[in-house]
Amino acid sequence: MSEDKSTSTHFGYKTVEQEKKADLVADVFHSVAAKYDIMNDVMSFGVHRLWKRLTIETAGARPGMKVLDLAGGTGDLTAKFSQLVGDKGEVVLADINDSMLKVGRAKLRDRGIVSNVKYVQANAEALPFPDNHFDIITIAFGLRNVTDKDAALRSMRRVLKPGGKLLVLEFSKPQHEIMRKVYDTYSFKIIPKMGQLITQDADSYEYLAESIRVHPDQETLKQMMIDAGLEQVEYTNMTDGVVALHKGYKF
């Protein structure tokens, strides 16, 4: 009998009921929140900072703009956007996971970033913001954890202003066979061991590696963004497509 796609979804390589995925993902990020930044640096050898820098540059944030850093976690993008939009602008750091939000809020407040940042616990599939509200939305390494990605993309488009820009930074599919083999070995053999060593949680990092493999590839995600009503959609591969930055506009 074929799987009932209306009630099931991926959780890594496992198939689970849709309504259970959010709780399962939440458990992963509750577990890793405290060491999330350290693991990002270790797993990517610091290269995640370059990926995020390109995202910031592509966003083109200017003074006075409203920015939504969705699935913003510990606030790396929010910190930079806060500087760029200034006192007359606004940055909303939104995440479905309260543990990640708490870590992000504490980190940013320790850095003195308080005046133009708001914190909102929110589900990307049903964003609690008005229509036509944000100039820029970014979602970095978060879309693959969303249960209904199509609903999330439509929700993001809804809250963008006309002329607004959505940027999706996400792990994707390496373009060359040698890179794919190296990346698979690293993801499934090395990263869980790092997770065990640093966070005492290998299982969560096994899930994160699996979630990357079942995430839509570059062209599939591009079409999903178009189907959600975004226009001029294009993407840039980084590190041979290990990561891709997708960009689309609302007109």
Segment holding 162, helix H or strand E? strand 160-171
The pLDDT tens digits for 197-232 are 777 776 777 877 788 888 899 999 999 999 999 999
Q: Copy the structure tokens of residue 158.
A: 């809804």
Is residue 123 annotated as involved in ligand binding? yes
The type of residue at 213 is R
pTM across the whole model: 0.83
The pLDDT tens digits for 133-186 are 999 999 999 999 898 999 999 999 999 999 999 999 999 999 999 999 998 888
Task: For residue 199, tell me if it sits in a domain.
Answer: no
Supply the pLDDT for residue 194: 76
Distance CA 77, CA 91 (A): 10
Task: For residue 202, tell me if it sits in a domain.
Answer: no
Q: What are phi and psi of 246, to 5 degrees?
A: -95, 140
Q: Across all residues in the chain, what is the average pLDDT?
A: 87
Distance CA 86, CA 69 (A): 15
Looking up residue 153, the CATH number of its domain turns out to be 3.40.50.150
Average pLDDT over residues 115-140: 97
Task: For residue 198, tell me if it sits in a domain.
Answer: no
Segment holding 243, helix H or strand E? strand 243-249
Task: For residue 6, tell me if it sits in a domain.
Answer: no
Task: For residue 145, tell me if it sits in a domain.
Answer: yes
The type of residue at 193 is K
Number of domains in the chain: 1
Is residue 74 annotated as involved in ligand binding? yes
Domain of residue 94: give its range. 12-175+207-249
pLDDT confidence tier of residue 81, bands split at 50, 70 and 90? very high
